[in-house]
Amino acid sequence: MISVRRVVSIVVVVAVLAVAAALGGALIRRHVVYGTVLDASSPSVTVKVGDRFSLKVPDRGPSVGDRWSATAEPDGVVTLVGDELISNSLSDRLFGPSIGGGGGKHYFRFDAERAGQVTVTLTNCFQGCWDERTRAESTTVTWTVTVS
């Protein structure tokens, strides 16, 4: 006959293993989707041909007026494969941004296509950059990416 203590121990071990597997799977998925993630504090990076990397910038959300875009010069060294805003708020992630919400981190995902050096610039044209106030709120962040 199995003791209650032994059953509880087995249940605890199984639960710990399940949590560890879920966290490990999430980390692997994150690396596959985003690759190496850089923010403005790391303005240069070296990656290999075929690698994926992401550039991350703060985003107050489209309802506030943030509108991020990406450019890479020269063409052909890296390819933009996607971008997405990931909200800081769990409820915004689950149910969509509330009015005035949706702020978080904006990720731009790139694949390294061929050897060379490229300048990647992310620009936030705040509320359309249509006057001095909105231009003053706009932001540009630049990275130097070396693909080997």
**Residue range 19-32, pLDDT digits in tens:** 555 555 545 555 55
Cα–Cα distance, 121 to 136 (Å, whole number): 18
Cα–Cα distance, 139 to 136 (Å, whole number): 8
From the CA atom positions of the chain, what is the Rg in Å?
A: 21
Inform me whether the pLDDT recorded for 33 exceeds 80: no
**What global pTM score does this model have?**
0.75
Cα–Cα distance, 33 to 39 (Å, whole number): 16
Q: Higher-confidence residue: 5 or 68?
A: 68
Cα–Cα distance, 89 to 103 (Å, whole number): 8
Inform me whether the pLDDT recorded for 70 exceeds 90: yes
Confirm if 95 and 115 have CB atoms less than 8 A apart.
no
Cα–Cα distance, 2 to 113 (Å, whole number): 59
Confirm if 79 and 71 have CB atoms less than 8 A apart.
no
Those residues whose C-beta lies under 8 Å from the C-beta of residue 113, and which sit 6 or more positions away, are 49, 76, 77, 78, 79, 147
3-state secondary structure of 25: helix
pLDDT at 86: 85
